[in-house]
Structure 1
Amino acid sequence: MQKSAYIGLGLVVAVLLALPFVLPNSYYMDLAIRMAINAIIVIGLNLLIGFAGQISLGHAGFLGIGAYASAVLPTHFGWHPLLALGAGAAATGLIAAVVARPIFKLKGNYLAMATLGLGIIINIALRNEAQWTGGPDGMPVPAMALLGFELGSDKQWYWVVALLLAVSVWASLSLIDSPFGRALRALHGSEVASQVVGVNVVRYKVSIFVLSAVFASIMGSVTAHYVGFVTPNFADFFHSIELVTMVVVGGMASVFGSIVGAVLLTALPQALATFEGWETVVFGAVLMGCMIFLPKGLVPTLAARFGKGE
């Protein structure tokens, strides 16, 4: 990794270590946990969209698979929560691998519509299989147990997701700096040129799609156990769009941009709650302003500006 990446990773770790000691109450601790969960999902999605240049408008579907695996398997079959989490991630990876090859033969708007359709199919399945999933009303999720201890308090959950976030940032930065990451960037630049220099375009597209889907599935399981209840809203279209928006606002092809985008767009709806009835309008105006004045995303734009001494 480059020196700047190590500095950024160190800053992230320092902030994660300090937060529990400065947050004033459980409300802010809960908000920090949700920010960290979203940040991990968005990091995985940014690897797909920002670095590989492949759009996904149905990514929340993979989140839903992981969440319901952690609800259905322990509840109906008595599986241990960790085993259910692993099974959900494996099933998600398998589904992503199967659908990726036909989907990634498409480009542009056709690719976007195909991924959107996949997310909708998963959402409909979760709503219709009421005998297993509870239908539109959802179902409770058993508590997560680690090494014989049940995770219950916000502080316990915070340290779990903080560790997952730190590992995700480190792993993503290492991946980007590896030959695999360089192949992804080449793929984003030009598929034809990538093929000319020997990059197996299909294999890399499928691999990064599967990796991104597994990121989402694992965090879907974590979210389900943390909240204690899961509904099909985990996998709905609007959640997918929210995740993509976090990628774009924070900055595509930027791991730290993913964190900033997730933090801002997780906190912003809470901050706008005082605008009774107008929060959606203000939220949209903020996003429009970001797109107009920061078209490359917040972190890349500011980095370029200050890097040039402007």
Structure 2
Amino acid sequence: MKSPSKTLIPRHAGLLALALVLALLPLALPNAFYYDVAIRIALNAAVVIGLNLLMGYTGQISLGHAGFYGLGAYASAVLTTHFNWPPLAALAAGAVATGLLALSLARPVLKLKGHTLAMATLGLGIIISIVINNETQWTGGPDGIAVPALALFGAELSGEKSWYALAAAMLLLVTWCALNVIDSPVGRALQAIHGSEIAARVVGVDTTRFKVRVFVLSAVIASVAGSVSAHYIGFITPTLAGFFHSIELVTMVVVGGMASVFGSIVGAALLTILPQLLSTFEGWETVVFGAILMATMIFMPKGLVPSLARRRGRQGN
């Protein structure tokens, strides 16, 4: 077993490397399109990191996480459009409401395991999606709703460079928080639950309390990212909270690497960029996309980052 001091060094080095990449990346982005892709990667990665804390480190499956993302997005849209709330206040209100919803549902839902837990979270996401679709007077229903520009401290955020700075800062903050959670007693308790919930209880870990905490945390992160995304895109539809978006988020976790914070970033980047790269296949992009995912899971079943790290370790021995 590696000592905590030995694991802290690569994780903090990884955080510094991420900060350096995010700082230098604008030098390699030639136009607004590439900035847009980079911003979407950063926002997706923030959500996936939170989801990976729940799935990879705690072993709890969530197939309805896009529902929390959609709640944050629509909270910002509805409160700013219909009630003239300041964007930051709407974002905070959405995060609090999402956190309270997650807290109220966490205990009964997280008592389930395996496929029953997956079905329960799937049902939660479907309910949120149906509500958003049906409340047309507030959400615009299937037609969607326009979202005002994001204003920070009285100044309206505009331009791809400003949005990139915000998305990069958010990704760094979420990464830093996740690494601190993992390196804390809470993180060790979560990994113990993932290994064996019964064994964790035997040694005195309050498994329910820790599972509820990480469930709420991941939901709040998704809500905040949803709010920021809504203001960035400027127009949202219920597909943000749909089942396929939840599956996309889960796929990012699995492809990048379960129980890997930096794997979450790699998975988010890969699955955000691939549809853009495969658009030239004219109708076959979905088939090629599926083949790439199958090959990744066959040859790297632990995900990209853990598998590559393991191979590198073997070569170094």
The equivalent of 1:230 in structure 2 is 236
TM-score w.r.t. length of structure 2: 0.97
Once the two structures are TM-superposed, the CA of residue 126 in structure 1 deviates from its matched residue by: 0.1
Q: Percent identity?
A: 66
In the alignment, the residues of structure 1 paired with residue 177 and residue 102 of structure 2 have an alpha-carbon distance, to the nearest angstrom, of 21
The Cα RMSD (Å) is 0.8
Letter in 1 for 2:239: N
The equivalent of 2:135 in structure 1 is 129
The equivalent of 1:7 in structure 2 is 13
In the alignment, the residues of structure 1 paired with residue 175 and residue 238 of structure 2 have an alpha-carbon distance, to the nearest angstrom, of 28
Letter in 1 for 2:42: A
Once the two structures are TM-superposed, the CA of residue 10 in structure 1 deviates from its matched residue by: 1.0
The equivalent of 2:263 in structure 1 is 257
Once the two structures are TM-superposed, the CA of residue 225 in structure 1 deviates from its matched residue by: 0.2
Once the two structures are TM-superposed, the CA of residue 305 in structure 1 deviates from its matched residue by: 0.8
Letter in 1 for 2:148: P
In the alignment, the residues of structure 2 paired with residue 234 and residue 129 of structure 1 have an alpha-carbon distance, to the nearest angstrom, of 15
Query: Counterpart of 1:309 in 2: which secondary structure?
Result: helix
The equivalent of 1:216 in structure 2 is 222
Query: Counterpart of 1:51 in 2: which secondary structure?
Result: coil
The gaps in structure 1 that reach 5 residues or longer are: none
The equivalent of 1:56 in structure 2 is 62
Q: Does residue 143 of the first structure (1) align with residue 163 of the second (2)?
A: no
Of the candidates 304, 309, 312, which is equivalent to residue 303 of structure 1? 309
In the alignment, the residues of structure 1 paired with residue 211 and residue 185 of structure 2 have an alpha-carbon distance, to the nearest angstrom, of 14
Of the candidates 72, 87, 92, which is equivalent to residue 78 of structure 2? 72
Q: Does residue 281 of the first structure (1) align with residue 292 of the second (2)?
A: no
Q: Does residue 176 of the first structure (1) align with residue 190 of the second (2)?
A: no
In the alignment, the residues of structure 1 paired with residue 84 and residue 268 of structure 2 have an alpha-carbon distance, to the nearest angstrom, of 34
Q: Deviations over 1:161-188 (max 9, x none)?
A: 1011111111111110000000000000
The gaps in structure 2 that reach 5 residues or longer are: 1-6
The equivalent of 1:40 in structure 2 is 46
In the alignment, the residues of structure 1 paired with residue 16 and residue 313 of structure 2 have an alpha-carbon distance, to the nearest angstrom, of 20
Once the two structures are TM-superposed, the CA of residue 6 in structure 1 deviates from its matched residue by: 1.4
The equivalent of 1:247 in structure 2 is 253
The equivalent of 2:3 in structure 1 is none
Letter in 1 for 2:203: V
- The number of residue pairs the alignment matches comes to 310
Once the two structures are TM-superposed, the CA of residue 77 in structure 1 deviates from its matched residue by: 1.0
Letter in 2 for 1:28: Y
Once the two structures are TM-superposed, the CA of residue 78 in structure 1 deviates from its matched residue by: 1.2
Q: Deviations over 1:170-226 (max 9, x none)?
A: 111111000000000000000100101111111111110000000100000000000
The equivalent of 2:4 in structure 1 is none
In the alignment, the residues of structure 2 paired with residue 22 and residue 81 of structure 1 have an alpha-carbon distance, to the nearest angstrom, of 31
Once the two structures are TM-superposed, the CA of residue 7 in structure 1 deviates from its matched residue by: 1.2
